[in-house]
C-alpha cells in the first residue's frame, strides 16, 4: 500500500466533495471511510485511477450517510441526482482546500491543526504528539475547526497570505512526536506552489528550504543551541541551499516583492557567506529596511538593529535598538549581544542573565545562561 499516494490524494478528494455540496465534517468522514476501504482493497485489486476510485467511494459514503440521517432531509435532492460535472482542476481543488483550512474565522492554532489533518493527511494522534498535547484535546480542536468551516463554500477567492502564515506556523514548530513538522510544512508548501503561480508562495518555499538547510548544524548532540555565527557550515545542506536560492531568484524576477521573499533574501545572504566574518551585513540591513517597509513589524526592527550592529558597529546597533519597544521578546538578548560586542561585559552578562529568565523555551534559556556565565568568568575578579 502506497501511503504517500493516499496522503497526496486526500486533499483533492476532500475538496471535490466539499465543492459538490458536502459540509466539511461530513466530507472528511466520508473520505476517511474511503481511505480505510482503499487500505483493505487496493493491495489485492489496485485501481487504474486511484483518485477517481477514492472520489467515487467517498461520494457514495457521503450519500449513504445523508440518506440515513433523518435530521438532514433537506439533502435528499442532492442524494437523488447524479454528481455535477468536474470543471475544476486538481490544482484548483487543492488550492481551495488550503483556503478553507486557513479560513479567517479560525484561530491560528485551529487553522494549523485542520491543515495538517485535511491537507496533510496526518492522524489526530500524530498532530497531538507533534504539538505535545493530549489526543483528546487535539481532537476537540479539530472538531471545532470543522464545525466553524462547515458552512463555508469553496466559491470565493481565498486569502493566500493567511494560508502562507498558517504554513509558516507549521514550519516553525520544527519537530515533535513522530512527525517532522518542518519537513511536512515544506511538502505542503511545494504542493501549494504547484497549484498556484504566486511569488510569495515561492518566497515562503525558498525561506523554508534555506532555513531547513542549516538544521543539522543548529544544535549540539546534547540539544544545546549553536548560534549562526558558530555553526559548522560544512554541515549545511548545499542542495537545499541551491534549490532555495533558485526558487527565490525566480520569485524576485517577478518584481512583486513580499515579506517572505525579503526574509528569504536575508537567509540567502547568510547561506552565501563561506564564514560568519564574510557575511554581507550591509545588504542584510538593506533587506531589513525593505522588510520593515512591507510589514511595519517591530520584530523586524529589532532584528534590523542587530544587523546594523554588525554592519556599522555595536554602538550604531545600540542606537537603532533604542528606538525599538523594549518589551519585545529577545530584546534583552539583542541588547546583551550588542553590549558584549561594544566591550561592556558587565552589562552584557547582566542582560544575558535577565534574558535567560524571560526565555520561553528551555534550550534558549540554557544558551543565554551559558552566555552570562561565560562573560562572568572573563570579567576581572
Per-residue pLDDT at 152 exceeds 80: no
What are the Cα distances from residue 217, in Å, to 180, 214, 362?
Answer: 17, 6, 18
Per-residue pLDDT at 331 exceeds 90: yes
Per-residue pLDDT at 81 exceeds 60: no
pLDDT by residue (tens digit) across 305-329? 999 999 999 999 999 999 999 999 8
- Give the pLDDT band (50/70/90) at residue 88: very low
Same domain, 21 and 81: yes
Could you tell me where the DSSP H helices lie in 232-322?
238-252, 259-272, 281-295, 298-312, 314-321
Taking Cα atoms as reference points, which of 81, 103, 141, 101 lies closest to residue 15?
Answer: 101
* Whole-number Å distance between alpha carbons of 334 and 347: 12
Domain boundary among the residues 66, 87, 108 is at 87
- Give the pLDDT band (50/70/90) at residue 153: low
Domain boundary among the residues 176, 196, 216 is at 196
Per-residue pLDDT at 155 exceeds 60: no
The answer to whether 207 touches 190, Cβ cutoff 8 Å, is: no
pLDDT by residue (tens digit) across 239-292? 999 999 999 999 999 999 999 999 999 999 999 999 999 999 999 999 999 999
Domain boundary among the residues 170, 196, 222 is at 196
Same domain, 11 and 68: yes
- Give pLDDT, residue 82: 47
Neighbouring C-beta atoms of residue 222, cutoff 10 Å: 6
- Give the pLDDT band (50/70/90) at residue 24: confident
Q: Is residue 299 part of a domain?
A: no
The answer to whether 28 touches 146, Cβ cutoff 8 Å, is: yes
Same domain, 95 and 192: yes
* Whole-number Å distance between alpha carbons of 337 and 324: 15
Q: Which of 56-70, 336-350, 365-379 has the highest mean pLDDT?
A: 336-350
State mean pLDDT over 154-173.
81
Same domain, 105 and 56: no
Number of domains in the chain: 3
Rounded to 10 deg, the angle between the 281-295 and 298-312 helix axes is 160
* Whole-number Å distance between alpha carbons of 173 and 361: 12
Per-residue pLDDT at 72 exceeds 60: no
Find the angle CA(299)-CA(303)-CA(309) to the nearest 5 degrees.
145
Same domain, 232 and 266: yes
Q: Is residue 141 part of a domain?
A: yes
Same domain, 206 and 187: no
**Higher per-residue confidence, 144 vs 80:** 144
Per-residue pLDDT at 7 exceeds 70: yes
The answer to whether 10 touches 35, Cβ cutoff 8 Å, is: yes
* Whole-number Å distance between alpha carbons of 70 and 47: 34
Q: Is residue 1 part of a domain?
A: yes
- Give pLDDT, residue 131: 82
The answer to whether 302 touches 334, Cβ cutoff 8 Å, is: yes
**Which residues, including other chains, have CB under 8 Å from residue 131's CB and lie 6 or more apart?**
113, 138, 173, 176, 177
Per-residue pLDDT at 380 exceeds 70: no
Per-residue pLDDT at 20 exceeds 90: no
State mean pLDDT over 185-203.
93
What's the predicted TM-score (pTM) here?
A: 0.83
Per-residue pLDDT at 75 exceeds 50: no
Q: Is residue 356 part of a domain?
A: no
Q: Is residue 381 part of a domain?
A: no
- Which domain, by its residues, includes 185? 90-196
- Give the pLDDT band (50/70/90) at residue 2: confident
**Higher per-residue confidence, 333 vs 122:** 333
Residues in the chain: 381
Same domain, 191 and 272: no
Same domain, 230 and 171: no
- Give pLDDT, residue 77: 53
Same domain, 95 and 80: no
Q: Is residue 11 part of a domain?
A: yes
* Whole-number Å distance between alpha carbons of 205 and 213: 12
The answer to whether 121 touches 7, Cβ cutoff 8 Å, is: yes
- Find the helix or strand (DSSP H, E) in which 37 lies: helix 24-41
Per-residue pLDDT at 85 exceeds 50: no
Per-residue pLDDT at 333 exceeds 80: yes
**Which residues, including other chains, have CB under 8 Å from residue 62's CB and lie 6 or more apart?**
17, 22, 26, 27, 29, 30
State mean pLDDT over 293-297.
95
- Find the helix or strand (DSSP H, E) in which 176 lies: strand 175-176
State mean pLDDT over 90-115.
84
The answer to whether 10 touches 29, Cβ cutoff 8 Å, is: no
* Whole-number Å distance between alpha carbons of 312 and 36: 61
Per-residue pLDDT at 74 exceeds 70: no
Q: Is residue 363 part of a domain?
A: no
Taking Cα atoms as reference points, which of 62, 82, 76, 51 lies closest to residue 17?
Answer: 62
Beta strands in the chain (DSSP E): 175-176, 179-180
Average pLDDT, whole number, for the chain? 88
- Give pLDDT, residue 104: 84
The answer to whether 337 touches 306, Cβ cutoff 8 Å, is: yes
Amino acid at each position: 500500500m502506497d501511503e504517500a499516494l493516499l496522503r497526496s490524494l486526500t486533499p483533492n478528494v476532500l475538496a471535490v466533495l466539499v465543492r459538490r455540496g458536502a459540509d466539511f465534517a461530513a466530507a472528511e468522514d466520508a473520505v476517511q471511510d474511503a481511505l480505510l476501504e482503499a487500505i483493505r482493497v487496493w493491495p489485492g485489486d489496485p485501481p487504474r485511477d486511484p483518485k477517481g476510485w477514492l472520489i467515487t467511494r467517498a461520494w457514495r459514503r457521503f450519500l449513504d450517510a445523508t440518506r440515513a440521517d433523518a435530521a438532514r432531509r433537506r439533502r435528499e435532492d442532492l442524494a437523488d441526482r447524479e454528481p455535477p460535472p468536474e470543471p475544476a482542476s486538481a490544482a484548483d481543488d487543492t488550492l481551495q482546500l488550503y483556503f478553507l483550512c486557513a479560513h479567517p474565522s479560525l484561530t491560528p492554532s485551529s487553522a494549523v491543526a485542520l491543515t495538517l489533518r485535511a491537507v496533510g493527511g496526518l492522524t489526530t494522534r500524530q498532530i497531538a504528539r507533534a504539538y505535545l498535547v493530549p489526543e483528546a484535546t487535539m481532537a476537540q480542536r479539530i472538531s471545532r475547526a470543522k464545525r466553524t468551516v462547515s458552512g463555508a463554500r469553496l466559491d470565493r477567492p481565498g486569502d493566500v497570505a493567511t494560508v502562507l502564515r498558517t504554513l509558516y506556523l507549521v514550519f516553525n514548530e520544527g519537530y515533535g512526536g513522530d512527525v517532522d513538522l518542518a519537513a511536512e510544512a515544506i511538502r505542503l508548501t511545494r504542493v501549494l506552489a504547484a497549484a498556484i503561480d504566486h511569488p510569495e508562495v515561492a518566497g515562503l518555499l525558498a525561506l523554508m528550504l534555506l532555513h531547513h538547510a542549516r538544521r543539522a548544524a543548529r544544535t549540539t548532540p546534547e540539544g544545546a543551541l549553536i548560534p549562526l555565527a558558530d555553526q559548522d557550515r560544512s554541515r549545511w545542506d548545499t542542495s537545499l541551499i541551491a534549490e532555495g536560492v533558485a526558487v527565490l531568484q525566480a520569485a524576485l524576477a517577478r518584481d512583486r516583492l513580499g515579506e517572505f521573499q525579503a526574509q528569504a533574501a536575508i537567509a540567502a545572504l547568510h547561506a552565501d557567506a563561506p564564514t560568519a566574518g564574510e557575511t554581507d551585513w550591509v545588504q542584510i540591513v538593506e533587506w531589513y529596511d525593505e522588510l520593515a517597509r512591507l510589514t511595519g513589524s517591530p520584530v523586524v526592527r529589532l532584528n534590523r538593529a542587530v544587523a546594523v550592529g554588525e554592519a556599522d558597529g555595536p554602538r550604531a546597533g545600540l542606537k537603532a535598538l533604542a528606538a525599538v519597544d523594549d518589551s519585545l521578546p529577545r530584546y534583552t538578548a539583542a541588547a546583551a549581544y550588542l553590549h558584549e560586542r561594544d566591550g561592556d561585559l558587565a552589562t552584557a552578562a547582566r542582560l544575558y542573565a535577565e534574558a535567560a529568565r524571560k526565555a520561553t523555551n528551555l534550550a534558549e534559556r540554557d544558551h543565554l545562561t551559558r552566555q552570562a556565565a561565560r562573560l562572568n568568568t572573563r570579567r576581572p575578579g
